[in-house]
């Protein structure tokens, strides 16, 4: 007995020693792996156990939403970052425990959804630290996604709210700022080989005291980024928006009292969780699966598997991501599970249950399983600056299993929709503007992804980013006024480049950009889906096509437009197929382009992607095909080859009888092309991924994971993953060139040269 007691005391002493001698407060797994709303605190328990009038709660909630709306409007109006101007912002209120209770009506829920992690970190580590502490008038800044966040380009200001000396809530404001001093401008460096290339990595720290930003710390941050003006302006914007929110919440406290506020914030979470449980319980019990295959690390082409099995049992849902690709030690496309889960919340709100209040507790009835060191659950040391690659996938991935689970429900909360195009297809830029300002950021085109086809309608063209509603692709005239980009192709729907189906996806649009009026400018793109179709279709539709990056270099198109404009059309296909500019270098690439300098008049072209198709193409109403043709959304070839609709090329009238015959013939041909399941397995099933394929993830058994590290295929147990190390593509190229040179020398040697 004595020995046990001694051992216990010793343990306590050791634990205390370690606590007092912590070298570094890294992200705390206890915080980062917990997506659920925590237990009620004492005050919440005391208020809610007495019961609350739901109508009073509604009144208080209305007041808080009005305050959040006001705060969000301030961010949008005052903000300087393109993200702020075009809607990538949010203001939010959290409980005293740090659980996200409410966000502003038009905010990006994902931004707020991950702020509860840094708040919990602040509460756990800084509250009682004598060198930091939490006092009225304090405010914290944060951007490192490892401590909670989507990616490091988003910066949050977090402020504790005190009432009569007691901390009763937390408030936050977040903006996608863009530039953050990373190795590439714009805040999303695909070239980051380690987290030390990612620029600002702000663990939550205090930067506001007595309601004012500390100038010394502000200067440090300004000194660390390319755009000190932006850093300054938006820190101020976030502070004053949060202060306005604070003022309003204090009024609510004055008017309704502490119990009403605390009870409302907590009840909001609990009511929504109850509703989500009810909705999950409506679904049939069972498991359904989906996989996705991003095709690039943004440095090289690979095939990564994202594996998801959704299991519903009663009022709980399990999302199992085991079997997905391992993490990459020196590629920036990893994410961590905290960011990933937050984005899954976004997916549910954007695609499945858009009528639900936007709060964290939607995730409470859900469980998640990841392999350790998977690309979706990356470890602390992995670079995560381009986590958008997995995160954009997470914004659409559950739509397919959820469509299957909910298709037969008598009540639908919204339309069943095939996945939206799920990549950030936008030009990221950096350099010196025509007004001699140094900038680095991204274009608002990120907000214009094509929607997937729906159970009752085509997808809408370029409708929103997959992470939020009511975002803006901007006005080109205003953008060109500020930065030295000239968009020759500004907004032209990309003909034929969409997921076909009974209801097709919405189209994306071409972005043809060049630059002038600057001596220093460059572009990058951070997008997968140039080799393997980016989004999955639903119920027999087609996925969207792959989208390349095209370049026309070694010319100044402005000169050509002056001297010989006749054959130059601002159309990617026309420019690339007909190559109308003599002397130019035309090239096609995948859309994972790291930052490269651009000469004035060189042309870079990408395409905002289209949504996936819904249902069989042969079921598409021929009248809709004719309409698409008339609107130049598809070509005659597509009408005929894909939809099997015969349309007069001049009148656009559908030949109904011939179409019917053609479709019948195609159905018969399909049957003829078909084969038995056993034959199919015999022909297609292999024990391992093909040797030539740089494949990452499980193949058949989700417990066995494949990867390629330092050029070598490896096979791992799912619970013992290694981090993948990728050689520098330049080294690979040098190696290839050297080998080629050696071969050439050998050849020449044969001739005695």
Partner 1 sequence: MKRVSVDIGGTFTDCFVAWGGKYLQSKALTTHQNLALGFNEALANACAELDVTVPELLSQVDSVRYATTLGTNALIERKGPRLGLLTTMGFRSSVPLARARGYGAGLDQKQQLDVPNAKRPDPIVPIPMIKEVRERVDYEGDVVLVLDEEDLRSKIRELVDKGAEVLVVVLANSVVNPEHELRIREIFLDEYPGHMLGAIPMLLSHQIVGRKGEYVRAMSTIMDGFLHQVMYHGLGTLELNLRASGYDKPMLVNHNSGGMAQLNSTDALQTVHSGPVSGIAACEHLAASTGLGNVVATDMGGTSFDIGLVAEGGVKHYDFNPVIERWMVSVPMVHLVTLGAGGGSICTYDPVYQTIAVGPRSAGSDPGPACYDRGGLEPTVTDADLILGYLDPQNYAGGHIKLNPRRAKNAIEESLCDDLDMEVLEAAKLIKRTVDGQMANGIATELRTRGYEPEDFTVLAYGGNGPLHACGIANALGARKILAPPFSSVFSAVGAGSTAQMHLHEMNTWTVLFNANMKSFFNDYDGFNRNVEELERRGREDLVRQGFAPEDISYRLELDMRYGNQRVQTAVVTDLHRLAGQHDVLKLIDQFDKRYGERFGEGSQATEAGVRINTIRVCSFVNQPGIAFQNLVPSSDHLPPPAPVGQRACHYVGYAEPIHTPIYDEAALLPGTLIEGPAVVVTKATTYLVEPGWRYQAAAMGAVWFTRVSQ
629-688 binders of partner 1 (CB under 8 A): 630-633
Comparison of 320 and 628: residue with beta carbon closer to partner 1 = 628
Comparison of 507 and 721: residue with beta carbon closer to partner 1 = 507
Whether 83 contacts 175, CB under 8 Å: yes
Q: Is 381 in the site for partner 1 (CB under 8 A)?
A: no
Counts of helices then strands in the chain (DSSP H, E): 21, 24
Q: Distance (Å, rounded) from C-alpha 243 to C-alpha 276? A: 33
Q: Is 496 in the site for partner 1 (CB under 8 A)?
A: no
Which DSSP category does 126 fall into?
I
Name the segment binding partner 1 (CB under 8 A); options: 111-119, 157-165, 354-362, 672-680.
Answer: 354-362
Q: Is 701 in the site for partner 1 (CB under 8 A)?
A: no
Neighbours of 36 (CB within 10 A): 14
50-69 binders of partner 1 (CB under 8 A): 54-55, 57-59, 61-63, 65-66, 69
Q: Distance (Å, rounded) from C-alpha 637 to C-alpha 468? A: 35
What tokens appear for 582 in the block?
Answer: 């003599």
* Total residues binding partner 1 (CB under 8 A): 96
What are phi and psi for residue 301, nearest 5 degrees?
Answer: -80, 130
> Which one of residues 224, 311, 379, 492 is an interface residue with partner 1 (CB under 8 A)?
492
**Least CB distance to partner 1 at residue 686 (A):** 38
**Least CB distance to partner 1 at residue 633 (A):** 8
Q: Is 478 in the site for partner 1 (CB under 8 A)?
A: yes
Bridge partners of 454, per DSSP, are 417
Q: Is 490 in the site for partner 1 (CB under 8 A)?
A: yes
Q: Is 471 in the site for partner 1 (CB under 8 A)?
A: yes
Which DSSP category does 398 fall into?
T
Contacts of 23 (CB under 8 A, 6+ apart): none
**Least CB distance to partner 1 at residue 573 (A):** 13
Q: Distance (Å, rounded) from C-alpha 455 to C-alpha 409? A: 14
Q: Is 561 in the site for partner 1 (CB under 8 A)?
A: yes
What tokens appear for 221 in the block?
Answer: 């941050």
In DSSP notation, 416-450 reads -BPPPP-S----EEEEE-TTS-EEEEE-GGGG-BP
> Which one of residues 118, 149, 294, 474 is an interface residue with partner 1 (CB under 8 A)?
474
Q: Is 404 in the site for partner 1 (CB under 8 A)?
A: no
> Which one of residues 92, 145, 385, 488 is an interface residue with partner 1 (CB under 8 A)?
488
586-625 binders of partner 1 (CB under 8 A): none
CA dihedral 75, 81, 82, 84 (to 10 degrees): -20
Which DSSP category does 502 fall into?
S
> Which one of residues 120, 201, 248, 299 is an interface residue with partner 1 (CB under 8 A)?
248
**Helix/strand/coil for 415:** coil
Q: Is 509 in the site for partner 1 (CB under 8 A)?
A: yes
Name the segment binding partner 1 (CB under 8 A); options: 14-22, 481-489, 577-585, 618-626.
Answer: 481-489
Name the segment binding partner 1 (CB under 8 A); options: 34-42, 134-142, 281-289, 562-570.
Answer: 562-570
**Least CB distance to partner 1 at residue 42 (A):** 24
Sign of CA dihedral 460, 462, 466, 468: negative
Comparison of 375 and 633: residue with beta carbon closer to partner 1 = 633
Comparison of 16 and 412: residue with beta carbon closer to partner 1 = 412
> By C-alpha distance, which of 264, 468, 262, 277 is closest to 363?
277
Q: Is 489 in the site for partner 1 (CB under 8 A)?
A: yes
Q: What strands, in cross-sheet order, belong to the sheet with 695-698? A: 303-304, 695-698, 704-709, 712-717
211-230 binders of partner 1 (CB under 8 A): 212, 229-230
Name the segment binding partner 1 (CB under 8 A); options: 9-17, 72-80, 190-198, 371-379.
Answer: 72-80
Comparison of 116 and 454: residue with beta carbon closer to partner 1 = 454
> Which one of residues 240, 589, 660, 713 is an interface residue with partner 1 (CB under 8 A)?
240
Q: Is 725 exposed, middle or buried (0-12, 13-18, 19+ CB in 10 A)?
A: middle
Q: Is 559 in the site for partner 1 (CB under 8 A)?
A: no
Name the segment binding partner 1 (CB under 8 A); options: 336-344, 355-363, 637-645, 656-664.
Answer: 355-363
Comparison of 75 and 298: residue with beta carbon closer to partner 1 = 75
What tokens appear for 51 in the block?
Answer: 């019961």
Residue spans of beta strands (DSSP E) within 164-202: 166-176
**Least CB distance to partner 1 at residue 152 (A):** 21
**Least CB distance to partner 1 at residue 105 (A):** 5
Contacts of 63 (CB under 8 A, 6+ apart): 248, 251, 252, 256
712-751 binders of partner 1 (CB under 8 A): none
Q: Based on C-alpha coordinates, what's the Rg of the chain?
A: 27
Q: Distance (Å, rounded) from C-alpha 434 to C-alpha 518? A: 6
Q: Is 512 in the site for partner 1 (CB under 8 A)?
A: yes
Q: Where are the alpha helices (DSSP H) in 125-227?
A: 215-223
Q: Is 256 in the site for partner 1 (CB under 8 A)?
A: no
- Residues belonging to the chain: 753
Q: Is 519 in the site for partner 1 (CB under 8 A)?
A: no
> By C-alpha distance, which of 69, 239, 63 is closest to 159?
239
Element (H, E) at 550: strand 549-553
86-115 binders of partner 1 (CB under 8 A): 87, 105-106
Q: What strands, in cross-sheet order, belong to the sheet with 286-292? A: 286-292, 306-313, 316-320, 366-369
Name the segment binding partner 1 (CB under 8 A); options: 113-121, 297-305, 487-495, 540-548.
Answer: 487-495
Comparison of 60 and 617: residue with beta carbon closer to partner 1 = 60
Q: Is 487 in the site for partner 1 (CB under 8 A)?
A: yes
Name the segment binding partner 1 (CB under 8 A); options: 23-31, 163-171, 412-420, 732-740.
Answer: 412-420
Q: Is 393 in the site for partner 1 (CB under 8 A)?
A: no
Q: Is 3 exposed, middle or buried (0-12, 13-18, 19+ CB in 10 A)?
A: exposed
In DSSP notation, 520-545 reads SEEEEEE---SSS-SS--BTT-PPP-
What tokens appear for 287 in the block?
Answer: 């498991």
**Least CB distance to partner 1 at residue 59 (A):** 5
Comparison of 326 and 401: residue with beta carbon closer to partner 1 = 401
423-462 binders of partner 1 (CB under 8 A): 435-437, 447-448, 451, 454, 457, 460-462
Q: Is 238 exposed, middle or buried (0-12, 13-18, 19+ CB in 10 A)?
A: buried
Q: Is 136 in the site for partner 1 (CB under 8 A)?
A: no
13-52 binders of partner 1 (CB under 8 A): none
């Amino acid at each position: 007995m004595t020995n046990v007691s001694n051992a216990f005391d010793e343990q306590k002493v050791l634990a205390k020693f370690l606590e007092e001698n912590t070298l570094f407060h890294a992200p705390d797994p206890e915080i980062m792996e917990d997506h659920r709303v925590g237990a009620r605190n004492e005050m919440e328990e005391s208020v809610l156990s007495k019961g609350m009038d739901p109508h009073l709660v509604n009144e208080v909630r209305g007041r808080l939403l009005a305050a959040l709306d006001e705060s969000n409007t301030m961010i949008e109006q005052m903000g300087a970052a393109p993200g702020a101007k075009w809607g990538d912002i949010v203001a939010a209120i959290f409980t005293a425990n740090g659980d996200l209770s409410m966000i502003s009506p038009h905010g990006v829920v994902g931004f707020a959804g991950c702020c509860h992690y840094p708040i919990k970190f602040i509460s756990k580590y800084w509250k009682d630290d004598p060198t930091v502490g939490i006092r009225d008038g304090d405010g914290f800044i944060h951007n490192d996604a490892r401590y909670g966040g989507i990616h490091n380009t988003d910066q949050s200001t977090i402020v504790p709210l005190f009432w009569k000396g007691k901390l009763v809530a937390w408030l936050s404001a977040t903006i996608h700022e863009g530039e953050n001093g990373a190795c590439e401008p714009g805040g999303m460096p695909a070239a980051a080989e380690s987290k030390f290339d990612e620029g600002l990595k702000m663990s939550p720290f205090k930067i506001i005291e007595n309601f004012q930003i500390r100038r010394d710390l502000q200067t440090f941050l300004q000194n660390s980024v390319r755009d000190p003006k932006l850093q300054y302006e938006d820190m101020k914007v976030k502070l004053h928006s949060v202060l306005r929110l604070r003022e309003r919440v204090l009024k609510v406290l004055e008017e309704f009292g502490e119990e009403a506020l605390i009870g409302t914030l907590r009840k909001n979470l609990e009511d929504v969780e109850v509703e989500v449980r009810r909705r999950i319980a409506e679904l049939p019990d069972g498991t359904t699966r989906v996989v996705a295959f991003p095709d690039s690390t943004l440095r090289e082409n690979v095939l990564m598997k994202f594996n998801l099995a959704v299991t519903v049992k009663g009022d709980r849902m399990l999302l199992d991501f085991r079997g997905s690709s391992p993490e990459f030690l020196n590629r920036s496309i990893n994410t961590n599970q905290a960011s990933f889960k937050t984005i899954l919340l976004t997916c549910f709100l954007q695609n499945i249950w858009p009528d639900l209040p936007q709060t964290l507790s939607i995730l409470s009835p859900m469980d998640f399983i990841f392999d350790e060191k998977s690309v979706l659950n990356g470890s602390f040391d992995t670079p995560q600056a381009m986590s958008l690659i997995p995160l954009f996938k997470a914004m659409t991935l559950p739509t397919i299993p959820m469509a299957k689970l909910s298709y037969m429900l008598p009540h639908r909360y919204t339309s069943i929709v095939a996945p939206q195009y799920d990549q950030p297809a936008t030009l990221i830029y950096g350099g010196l503007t025509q007004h001699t300002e140094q900038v680095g950021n991204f274009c608002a085109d990120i907000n214009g992804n094509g929607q997937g086809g729906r159970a009752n309608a085509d997808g809408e063209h370029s409708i929103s980013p997959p992470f939020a509603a009511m975002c803006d692709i901007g006005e080109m005239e205003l953008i060109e006024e500020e930065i030295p980009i000239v968009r020759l192709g500004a907004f032209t729907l990309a003909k034929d480049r969409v997921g076909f189906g009974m209801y097709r996806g919405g189209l994306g649009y071409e972005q043809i950009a060049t630059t002038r009026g600057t001596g220093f400018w460059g572009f990058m793109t951070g997008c997968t889906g140039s080799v393997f179709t980016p989004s999955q279709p639903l119920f027999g539709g087609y996925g969207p096509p792959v989208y390349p990056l095209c370049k026309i270099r070694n010319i100044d198109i402005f000169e050509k437009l002056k001297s010989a404009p006749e054959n130059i059309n601002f159309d990617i296909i026309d420019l690339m197929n007909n190559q109308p500019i003599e002397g130019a270098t035309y090239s096609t690439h995948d859309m994972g382009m790291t930052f490269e300098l651009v000469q004035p008049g060189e042309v870079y072209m990408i395409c905002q992607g289209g949504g996936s198709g819904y249902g069989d193409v042969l079921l598409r109403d021929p009248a809709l095909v004719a309409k698409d043709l008339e609107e130049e959304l598809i070509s005659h070839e597509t009408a005929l080859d894909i939809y099997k609709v015969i349309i007069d090329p001049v009148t656009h009238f559908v030949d109904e009888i011939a179409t019917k015959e053609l479709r019948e013939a195609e159905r018969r041909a399909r049957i003829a092309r078909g084969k038995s399941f056993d034959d199919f397995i015999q022909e297609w099933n292999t024990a391992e991924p093909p040797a030539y394929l740089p494949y990452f993830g499980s193949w058949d058994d989700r417990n066995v994971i494949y990867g390629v590290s330092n050029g070598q295929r490896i096979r791992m147990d799912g619970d013992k993953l290694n981090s993948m190390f990728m050689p520098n593509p330049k080294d690979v190229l040098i190696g290839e060139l050297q080998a080629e040179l050696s071969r050439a020398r050998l050849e020449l040697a044969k001739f005695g040269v």
